[in-house]
Structure 1
Amino acid sequence: MESFRIRFTPLLSLNDPFEYSLKIGDSEYELKPELSAENTETMAFVSLSRNNSNILMWSHYADSHKGFCLGFYRSDSYFSDAESIRYRSNRSSLNGMSNSHFDKINVLKSVALEKAIDWAYEEEERLFLCDVENKINNIGLDGWGQPILLNSFPKTALGAVYLGLRASNELEIKIKKILQLNNMHTPIFKAQKSINKFGIEFWPRT
């Protein structure tokens, strides 16, 4: 957060093997590493969610509720081209795609924007690197040998910061200092367990 950058991830870095394979008729094809490498700086994407309080996501993606979540303004022009994931039980086939849409970027987007219905709880949208201004910082390779790409986002797009249930006081202080140094008055909220439901609620921090 200190540099106001977010990671844009290649398909081959995802843990779901269906995310980098496509179906054409009765045949299946997997995205080759060399094709992924050629298109990383255009087809990498950041995963966003319309739900900030799903306890499964806080467990999986925020260090078991010890991390934090950034809330962005959906209306900000930086995020205006984010596209919703299509959740399905059956895999679609590219056989029905018209020739005018059968180019490399559209094919890769079609693959990246379709997931199994099991993931529907994430309420995910994906913003592709090819649809935003690129100010890339490549900080090395991940465990799959793919580049770790951090791209700047505008400070004006940050609408809120949500701290996990188990987030430390030190983390909260650090985030407050970052916002103060950047002369930002972004509200901070802390998660608490709901009394009546298996869920979390957010309360503002002073």
Structure 2
Amino acid sequence: MILYKYVSFEAGLKILETCALGFSHLEDFNDPFEATALGLTEGSISQAVRFGACRNRLSRKYTVLSLTRAPLNPLMWSHYGDCYKGMVIGIDTVKAGFENDEQYIIPAHRGEIIYVNTAPKATNNINDEDLMAIGDSSVMSWKKHERFLKHAFLYKSVCWAYEEEVRIVKNISSANFAYHYSSKKEEIIDGLVWKRLQLETRPIYLRDIPEEAFMEIYIGENCYRDQMRKQKNKAQQDVELSDPIERLKATCQRKSISLYRVGVDVERWLLMKQEIK
């Protein structure tokens, strides 16, 4: 299936040129209620301690790629598409390897978000041994812990339903990457190379995918105007110029990726796509 990633124009161009996608920790997502649908039953240790320990281990032991089914959603373009100045990248999840059950504890075909009005209560009985097993791939698996993993990664409040989100979840615990600082920049996990990149505020984990997995690109209505403004500012600062729109067109042509511009139908309040030749 084809799923979509909303990004800024600059980030999207880099993704296409490097053929790498970044996975993130749950604690770096914009929803403060991530991994709060655990529905833990009462235990000998206080709920607050057990709950905090679960969330911490879920965030640090796993990393997540968020995609969507909706490339023409006005709210998504405003929130994640840099106010229509960015782009949306269409990715074939089979060609990208995101349907692989052995590589991902939650591959794309299992990763559709479940939107609910209220968080589950007293659903998962997590004892101390189970808690310490979070992130241990020899113990925790989809087959044995499907309900818990769904609650941990795939349950969200119904207010987020407009996102039509699908997640791919990777266990990175074997790499022993540190969150705040890590001397490790690259590691083999389950036979594949994962690279740790430290951004200004958080780390991400890069996974290379085949260039044929990139199927289509949508650029926002405000993209041309924004890029022209940035080019003008660079010219005034006497910075070497290169036209990023032309770079994008050349990249899409070279990799046989369909390129579209998103327009606005003001009469029907809908977004529409128009192919760029």
TM-score range, shorter chain: 0.7 to 0.9
Which one has a bigger Cα radius of gyration?
2
Matched, 1:165 2:181: no
Residues in 2 aligned to 1:178 and 1:77: alpha-carbon distance in whole angstroms: 18
Q: Is the 2:115–2:160 contact (alpha carbons within 8 Å) kept by the matching residues of 1?
A: yes
1:35 and 2:57 matched? yes
Correspondence for 2:247: 174
- Give me the identity figure in percent: 25
Q: Secondary structure in 2 aligned to 1:95?
A: coil
Deviation, structure 1 residue 8: 0.4
Tell me how far apart the structure 1 counterparts of residues 76 and 265 of structure 2 sit (CA, whole Å): 16
Specify every segment of 5 or more residues in structure 1 that has no aligned partner in the other structure, as ranges: none
Instruction: Give the structure 1 partner of residue 156 of structure 2.
Output: 115
5 Å-filtered alignment, 1:43-58, equals 43-58=62-77
Question: What whole-Å deviation, never above 9, does each CA across 1:62-82 have from its counterpart, x for those lacking one?
Answer: 111000010012443613221
User: CA separation in 1, counterparts of 2:64 and 2:191?
Assistant: 13
Deviation string, structure 1 residues 27-53 (Cα, Å, up to 9, x no partner): 4513578635751xxx20110101100
Distance 2:23 2:40 in 1: 27
Look up the SS of the partner of 1:160 in the other structure: strand
Counterpart of 1:148 (choices 204, 214, 217) is 204
Q: Tell me the number of residue pairs that the alignment of Structure 1 and Structure 2 aligns.
A: 197
Equivalent pair of 1:69/1:163 in contact (CA under 8 Å): yes
Contact 1:9 1:46 in 2 (8 A): yes
Question: Is the 2:252–2:258 Cα contact (8 Å) retained in structure 1?
Answer: no
RMSD: 2.9
1:197 paired residue number: 268
Question: Shift of residue 174 of structure 1?
Answer: 2.0
Task: Write the deviation string for residues 111-132 of structure 1: whole angstroms up to 9, x where unpaired.
Answer: 1111000000100000112498
Residues 205, 77 of structure 1: CA spacing in aligned structure 2 closer, same or farther, 3 A cutoff? Answer: closer
Q: Distance in 1 between matches of 2:217 and 2:161?
A: 24
Q: Are the equivalent residues in 1 in contact too, given 2:27–2:59 (CA < 8 A)? A: no
For 1:112 and 1:153, locate their aligned partners in 2 and report how far apart those are by CA, in whole Å: 23
Aligned match of 2:112: 84
With structure 1 as the length reference, what TM-score do the two structures score? 0.82
Q: Is the 8 A contact 2:35 2:151 kept in 1?
A: no
Distance of 2:56 and 2:126 partners within structure 1: 26
> Normalising by structure 2, what TM-score?
0.62
Q: Give, in whole Å, the separation in 2 of the partners of 1:185 and 1:114.
A: 36
**Residues 163 and 172, structure 1, Cα contact 8 Å, conserved in 2:** no
Q: Secondary structure at the match of 2:274?
A: strand
- Which of 21, 36, 56 is 1:6 aligned to? 21
Quote how far apart the aligned CAs of 1:185 are: 1.1
User: Secondary structure in 2 aligned to 1:118?
Assistant: helix
> 2:29 is aligned with what amino acid?
L
Give unmatched runs, 5+ long, in structure 2.
1-14, 100-106, 135-139, 173-189, 228-242
Cα shift readout 1:129-168 (whole Å, capped 9, x = no counterpart): 249874322121553xx42222212212111011011112
> In structure 1, which of residues 125, 135, 143 is the aligned counterpart of residue 193 of structure 2?
135
Which one of the candidate residues 26, 37, 41 is aligned to 1:25? 41
